[in-house]
Amino acid sequence: MDGCEQRKKGRKIGRFHVLTDTALQKRYTHIELAEMAISGGADTIQFREKRGSTRELIDVALKLKEVCSKAGAVFIVNDRVDVAIASSADGVHLGQKDFPISLARKILGDDAIIGGSATNLEEARFCLMEGADYIGFGPVFPTASKEDAAPAKGLRLLKEVVETIPLPVIAIGGINIENMDDVLKTGVYGIAVISAVCCHEDPLYAARIMKEKMAF
């Protein structure tokens, strides 16, 4: 969708999202990965962490928020509305079985960025109806980054969602330097990656190459 940088009350939706990870790799912390990803061109950092206490998650989120704020990047917390509130995150990303998007909007307010995950057109429509600002659609390709990931959806369905849903669509799942050109040809607003950056031998380099491939 053209002209979506500023949707509803000036919310800025990034085009290159990097989800930091310390499960698939152990070399770098969430903070280090965020710094390298942003230096490489990522405009949005998503914090997704299933392990640790709420206090521990808040501590990491506060540090990530500081890194993002200094660099002018958007900071999104996955799943945890409470952690997003505590860290003054720019928004949250919610799955179909997570905290309801409509309730998150009531709690976080009109200025918060709220993304919704979808694996098919029906789920994408539901995110739209609930008031999401963008759709995270996937997995486009097979992925090992998420234990309960749905089967790969492919480029054809991704393109259908892009052409049907009047929201920015961020493609996710198995996207890497080699296949991202095909993903971008579907007309997606942006991409989100985990292992392609976090598990690369040089995360900053990987982010930079991916950013260069994005013509917008």
Q: Give the residue numbers annotated as catalytic, written as ranges.
A: 48, 117, 146
Of 160, 179, 169, 98, the closest CA to residue 136 belongs to 169
Provide long-range contacts, Cβ within 8 A and 24+ apart, for 178-182: 179/141, 180/210, 180/213, 180/214, 181/213, 182/155
CA separation for the pair 31, 214 (Å, rounded): 24
Residue 161: helix, strand or coil by DSSP? helix
CA separation for the pair 93, 194 (Å, rounded): 15
CA separation for the pair 167, 144 (Å, rounded): 27
Which residues are CB-neighbours of 80 under 8 A, at least 6 positions away? Answer: 54, 57, 92
Q: Among all chains, which residue has been given the structure tokens 């799943």?
A: 79
